[in-house]
Amino acid sequence: MRRLALPLALALALGMVAGASVSAANTSLLTGDWIGNDPAPPDGDGSVVHLSIRVGGDQGQVTFTDEYGTVCELVGSPVTYFRSTLSGFMVKDALLIATFRTAQCGPVPVKFLQGERLFLQHSTEGTDDPSDDTINDGTVTYHRA
């Protein structure tokens, strides 16, 4: 029995490493938490915006929050904290095309955003250091949080 214990332990350990490799291959450089700022007025309000991205295989899930969503004023919400969930798909390794599934300002839904798309483009800024990575959505540039 002792003679089988070491080979069995090695086989299990290798299986765990192989499983971790497969799991790592199913993630993306976009996976993680990101922070940015809306443009300053008149193009935006300068508020802090957050992305939390999870990618598995070619599918992505995004939580987008805006600490001061001017859209909340437009929909008559009593609060200005905007939160939305998106789901989408990866194009190659650096682009996530995500669709708004839910959007709300506190208790008030922002229905006109549902079904709209957000294009999240990853950039390595030309270095191998992941802390230099950015994501751009066409308006905001996000950095790792």
Kindly tell me if the per-residue pLDDT of 59 is higher than 90: yes
- Find the CATH number of the domain harbouring 74: 2.40.128
- What total of structural domains would you count in the chain? 1
Kindly tell me if the per-residue pLDDT of 7 is higher than 80: no
User: For the segment 27-47, what is each residue's pLDDT rounded down to a tens digit?
Assistant: 578 999 999 999 998 888 999
User: For the segment 102-139, what is each residue's pLDDT rounded down to a tens digit?
Assistant: 999 999 999 999 999 999 999 987 778 888 899 999 99
Could you tell me the residue range of the domain that residue 46 belongs to? 26-144
Which token pair is 94? 């650096």
Query: Helix-strand-coil percent breakdown of the chain, rounded to 5?
Result: 25, 40, 35
Distance, first Cα to last Cα, the chain: 50
Share the mean pLDDT of the chain.
84
Q: If we measure between CA atoms, which residue out of 135, 88, 134 comes closest to residue 115?
A: 88
pTM of the model: 0.78
In a domain, 49, yes or no: yes
Q: If we measure between CA atoms, which residue out of 97, 81, 100 comes closest to residue 89?
A: 97
**Span 39-59, mean pLDDT?**
94
